[in-house]
Structure 1
Amino acid sequence: MFGKLFKKKEEVTDISLVAPVSGVLVALEDVPDPVFSQKMMGDGVAVKPSNGEVVAPIDGKIVQVFPTKHAVGIMADNGAEIMIHIGLETVSLEGEGFTAHVGEGDRIKQGDKLITFDLQVIGEKAKDTVTPIIVTNTDDMSEISVEDKKEVTAGQDEIVIVKK
């Protein structure tokens, strides 16, 4: 009788990340920055953006919006920690060209708008516009696999499978 009432909530183990930004998928090893290409921050993939909108790749919670708004951290429902880093060496722009639409602690759904950015400003003033999507706690996950695609659409195309 009370079975459903006291039933333990099922734990989420496998998740799929959709592209947080539209553009061309780039292997992490091909990102022109050793911190990302050598997977010092974790495993994942990158996108060379075709527009300036970043959406949530997964349901979860915002754990960090960098003060310069160039990166955002998300805790996925399976415990995966996802960081989206817009462009390379963009911290030096001190927020120029970036607008955050979420804050720390916000609950988000896949496809929600997170950050908008001026692609032209980033292209002119940063090292590169390529945007890494990293699972920063890779060691806590059992498998991270990247989908084999060329062009991706934000909020639609699956790009990474993360298994706990």
Structure 2
Amino acid sequence: MFTKWFSKKKQEKEAVLIAPLTGRAVPLESVPDPVFSQKIAGDGIAIEPTQGKLVSPVNGKVGHIFHTAHALVLQSEEGLELLIHIGLDTVKLNGQGFTPHVKAGDEVKAGDVLIEFDLQALEQAGYKTVTPVLITNLDKVEQKQFMVGNSVTAGSDKIMELVLK
């Protein structure tokens, strides 16, 4: 019996993130907060929302949700850690205007509603609503492509394509 042996190149592992918000995808550098624009907390994009519904950009698990429901951490099935921070300085609202639909430890699928928020109330109170979507463990990412400059629809449009290590 003849057997062929193949030396297979290590399979590249890919991850795709979909838009967690409906709005306009913008470069992270345009966010008027140095923690985000200088990529201190991680790398990614930001979305200027036009609707107040945050959905999961990945299949995974809720790692942490802030008690004020203005931000959360997700862990994707591929091992990515994502931080999504709704607006800037919105922690000062102490949860007012935010309705969480998940808690830490919940399994989520891409497109599942995570948090609803009153977009108009945030704007009227003078808060910037631009929402950073960050990868906080970049050591797992070999290549990244961010889709910015376009309008995106929550739960359907791609915002990031990644090749993982």
Q: TM-score, normalised by structure 2?
A: 0.89
| Alpha-carbon distance change, 55 to 144 in structure 1, aligned in 2, over 3 angstroms | same
Name the residue aligned to 2:4.
none
Name the residue aligned to 1:8.
none
Distance 2:69 2:100 in 1: 6
Name the residue aligned to 1:14.
14
Unaligned runs of 5+ in 2: 1-10
| Alpha-carbon distance change, 155 to 43 in structure 1, aligned in 2, over 3 angstroms | same
The one-letter code sitting in structure 1 at the alignment partner of 2:42 is G
Distance 1:126 1:42 in 2: 26
| Runs of 4+ in structure 1 over 2 Å off | 124-127
Task: Tell me the secondary structure at the aligned position of residue 139 of structure 1.
Answer: helix
Shift of 1:142: 1.4
Shift of 1:109: 0.3
Name the residue aligned to 2:143.
143
The one-letter code sitting in structure 2 at the alignment partner of 1:18 is I
Superimposed CA distance per residue, residues 92-127 of structure 1 (whole angstroms, 9 cap, x where no aligned partner): 110010000001000000000000000011112253
Query: Aligned pairs, how many?
Result: 154
Q: TM-score, normalised by structure 1?
A: 0.89
State the identity as a percent: 45
Shift of 1:87: 0.3
Unaligned runs of 5+ in 1: 1-10
| Alpha-carbon distance change, 73 to 85 in structure 1, aligned in 2, over 3 angstroms | same
Distance 1:132 1:148 in 2: 12
Flag the structure with larger Rg.
Answer: 2
Matched, 1:88 2:85: no
